[in-house]
Amino acid sequence: MNRILGLALVGIMLVFSSCETSQSYDGTYEGILPAADCPGIYMLLAIHGDQYELMEKYIMRAGIFVTYGKIQNVSSCKLRLDNEGDLTFHGDTLLYRNVPLKRVSFQKELPDIYKSQFLKENQSGEDATVSLYEMGNQRYADFYFKDKEYKLKLNPQNNSEDEYIDKNCSLKILFEDEYASVFGIPVFNDGKNSYTFTALTPTNNIYISETKSHVPSFFDVIYYNDGMQAFVKLITSEIENCYTLPQTDASSKTADYSDGKIKWQLGNHQDATLIIDDKEYKYREQ
């Protein structure tokens, strides 16, 4: 009897010690959160010690939202973000608001491509970059143009559109085309002149399946370039059907993206083909 009791106590101690063991949560995790007014929210969460970077993309809607914040250790198995979201750790999976997030890499920061929009000014052709994010319950825009850096805050007095301001400058974010730009199109005024821009990367498109099959009925697609290589990110409401594929071939009108198992072929007539196990599934840009 004492032997059985002793073994039981050892088992209980092992369960508790598994949470007490010092372990690193650092890395990047992804998952799909439920949403009331869209198919879901795709999220990437990068953890670095007591800091985090969170990217949220409302599926089939324009816009990417980035939050920077701090993490509090609630217990040996639970973390709390300063946006009041709790994380529970199980192996390589985090539970965030009861939704599993799988670790996809050990990178401790989000890639810049998810945090910044690269632009070209329409008149001069000069390059610009805009980063939109929230930190400490305040929304900011970091804008780089003409060798100057502007740090702007959201104007709480403007309820009709997103406008970021400082003493002399303003940056308005417009969504004239619902899907063409991930972050929206900035209109910048430096106090003297107004400038408009064209988004270079990333860009956003929605593709709808033309056939009834077991593959996803739609993809929210982001095309981007990390400075060295072009990629496509295919997002849908099931995380196991979301893919990030590098570009393997391109011409003036078409492009192929593949990881060796999944292929995305972009056509020149607003069409695309998903190839899995040598089977083709046709999609049409919405």
Write the DSSP assignment of 224-285 as a string of letters. EE-SS-EEEEEE-SSGGG-EEEEEEEE-SS-EEEESSSEEEEE-SSSEEEEEETTEEEEEEE
Checking if the pLDDT of 124 tops 60, the result is yes
From-to residues of CATH 2.40.128.640 in the chain: 24-112
Predicted local distance difference test score (pLDDT) of residue 176 = 57
**232 vs 244: CA distance, rounded Å:** 6
Predicted local distance difference test score (pLDDT) of residue 25 = 85
Residues 194-215, mean pLDDT to the nearest whole number: 88
The two tokens of residue 181 are: 């730009």
User: In which band, very low, low, confident or very high, does the pLDDT at 239 lie, cut at 50, 70 and 90?
Assistant: very high
Q: What angle do CA 231, 236, 239 make, to 5 degrees?
A: 90
Distances (CA, A) of 73 to 25, 45, 85, 183: 11, 16, 12, 32
pLDDT single digits (tens) 153-203 = 999 988 778 899 998 899 998 765 554 455 667 899 999 999 999 888 788
Kindly state the DSSP code that residue 9 receives in the 8-state scheme: H
Instruction: Name the 3-class secondary structure at 19.
Output: helix
Predicted local distance difference test score (pLDDT) of residue 218 = 95
Instruction: Name the 3-class secondary structure at 16.
Output: helix
φ, ψ at 186 (rounded to 5°): -80, 145
User: In which band, very low, low, confident or very high, does the pLDDT at 257 lie, cut at 50, 70 and 90?
Assistant: very high
User: In which band, very low, low, confident or very high, does the pLDDT at 248 lie, cut at 50, 70 and 90?
Assistant: very high
Q: List, in order, residues 6 or more apart from 153 with CB less than 8 Å away.
A: 138, 139, 140, 141, 164, 165, 166
Q: List, in order, residues 6 or more apart from 275 with CB less than 8 Å away.
A: 262, 263, 264, 265, 281
The two tokens of residue 284 are: 């049409």
Predicted local distance difference test score (pLDDT) of residue 165 = 95
**116 vs 135: CA distance, rounded Å:** 15
The mean predicted confidence, pLDDT, of the chain is: 85
Whether CATH 2.60.40 fits 203-285 = no
pLDDT single digits (tens) 62-113 = 778 899 999 988 777 788 888 778 888 876 678 888 889 988 899 999 988 8
The two tokens of residue 106 are: 């050990």
Predicted local distance difference test score (pLDDT) of residue 200 = 83
Checking if the pLDDT of 20 tops 80, the result is no
Fold classified for 24-112: Lipocalin (2.40.128)
**CA distance from start to end of the chain:** 69
> Hey, how many other C-beta atoms are within 10 angstroms of the C-beta on 157?
7
Predicted local distance difference test score (pLDDT) of residue 16 = 38
Radius of gyration of the CA atoms of the chain, in A:
22
